[in-house]
Structure 1
Amino acid sequence: MTTWVLLRGLMRESRHWGDFPARFQQAVSADRLLCLDFPGNGELHAQASLTTVEAMANYCHQQLQTQAIREPVQVLAVSLGAMVALAWANQYPDDLQRMVLINTSVAPHNPIYHRLRPGNYPALIATMLFGSRRQREQLILRITSNLHTKEQGKEIVARWIAYAQENPISVGNILRQLLAAMRFRAPPYTGKVPLLLLAGEHDHLVNVACSHRLAEQWHSPLHLHPTAGHDLPLDDAAWVIQQVLAW
């Protein structure tokens, strides 16, 4: 049985994938697809977020046991979710068959000013901690997505606000997830779990130089989308699916 696990990034929940999971599952002919929410996000918003990426990886391992999944799974992960996938592959290599990492960045290979573009610091701090839900979701869309019309953007933001109202994330959990991302240092990549890197060349949140550096460091294939931003599955789901199928 083929199982894919999808992991989202900071402050995001499984519904932020939109229709990507259904399209992806059909395209890759997966028998089973799991979109995991980390504690503090989505339906788990009332729980305290974990403060280390390694603890998040352990949580993913436990979810496989809960779901009685015994065969190795394939993972597609974005941003913070990709960091978790790296830790998961290091802690439980027999859990994973392969992984696709999208627009990620990690210490010690990537400097902080590439991992989070400095031009975003003031808006992120002010809006994430003190802004309204609408302001927060508008900012997230602006810095993570490129390929949508004005009307599409309004529809996306409205949908995300509804998610935030139903499953509100606390400021404390935002800070815990930021802490986990900032303190994580990638373990040595052994190559035991095959790895594909995908990145958007116009990522306004994370410098694409991070993906170039990781591909060089890990001798892994890297495919670049010429116009997409940080949220590649949102900007061009078909392209992401095509790259995975080709790989």
Structure 2
Amino acid sequence: MSAPWILLRGLTRESRHWGAFAPLLEARRGAVLPVDLPGNGTLAHLRSPVAVTSYVDAVRAEVQRLGARPPYKVLAMSLGGMVATEWALRYPGEIAQLVLINTSMRPYSRFYERLRPAAWPALLRAAWHWRETGKEGIAEAAIHLRTCARFDTLSADLDAWRAIRASAPVSRANAVRQLAAAASYTVRGVPRCPLLLVSSRGDRLVNPVCSARLARAWGASHAVHEWAGHDLPHDDPQWLLDTIGVMPCVSTFVLRA
């Protein structure tokens, strides 16, 4: 049996936020196992840690509880990318392949690159309306505006995201803890498995230079999407699938959307 794909989302996002991408990946690449970070989704009742190493422990325990066995292939976004990286560094024998999407890490990126200042007002707006779960909920609209570049599915997206928030709300305290974990994480070392960094030129949350610097520092492959936003699996899932399929050993490359 081939290694399963473990999927890890980012700040306050959960397995259902993969949308159409997860079933497409499973149909194309085999077994897929989306795993929630503590404090999100099926684990919304838990207290989110403030250290990335603690997320690694929690994710490993959850994967094992769900019956998956290493080695794993891990595709992860944002905070999930930090967790996946630390997992590969601490337990290199468990990770067969890493795909990291729009992530950033100290010491390779500055704080204003890791979270663009232009995004701060929208995030503050989302935080102010965080506890709203009705159909007019402003938080999800603010998040969509900063993370997505594709708006033809906006109404359906917001309906789905607000339903997710209503069924498994992430507490404001857990959101702050996750942000603190992401902000404080410093990577020490280089993952030794096959590694692909993916960034979106249209990312309005995290500067894509963060992925470029990681790729250069690690000697890793780097794929660039020309127009997608931070939530690349939402904006162009087919492109992401195609990119994983042609993953080279080392280089920077662009697949035209």
User: Structure 2 length normalisation: TM-score?
Assistant: 0.91
Question: Which residue of 2 is the match for residue 183 of structure 1?
Answer: 184
Deviations 1:85-138 (Å, cap 9, x if unpaired)? 001001111111001000000011100010000112233124224443421100
Q: Does residue 223 of structure 2 align to residue 220 of structure 1? A: no
CA distance in structure 1 between the partners assigned to 2:219 and 2:145 by the alignment: 32
Number of paired residues? 242
Q: Does residue 145 of structure 2 align to residue 142 of structure 1? A: yes
CA distance in structure 2 between the partners assigned to 1:130 and 1:138 by the alignment: 10
The aligned amino acid for 1:244 is: I
CA RMSD of aligned residues (A): 1.2
Deviations 1:182-218 (Å, cap 9, x if unpaired)? 11001210x4211101111010000111111111111
> Structure 1: which 5+ residue stretches go unaligned?
none
> Structure 2: which 5+ residue stretches go unaligned?
248-257
SS, match of residue 197 in structure 1: strand
CA contact (8 A) 1:129 1:171 kept: no
The runs of 4+ residues in structure 1 deviating greater than 6 Å are none
CA distance in structure 1 between the partners assigned to 2:105 and 2:51 by the alignment: 13
How do 1:1-247 residues align onto structure 2 when only pairs under 5 Å count? 1-2=1-2, 3-28=4-29, 30=30, 32-131=31-130, 132-133=132-133, 134-149=137-152, 152-189=153-190, 191-247=191-247
Deviations 1:22-58 (Å, cap 9, x if unpaired)? 1101111x1x211001111012111111111111111
Between Structure 1 and Structure 2, which shows a larger proportion of helix residues?
Answer: 1
Percent identity reads 38
CA contact (8 A) 2:129 2:138 kept: no
User: Structure 1 length normalisation: TM-score?
Assistant: 0.94
SS, match of residue 51 in structure 1: coil
The aligned amino acid for 1:195 is: L
CA distance in structure 1 between the partners assigned to 2:66 and 2:12 by the alignment: 24
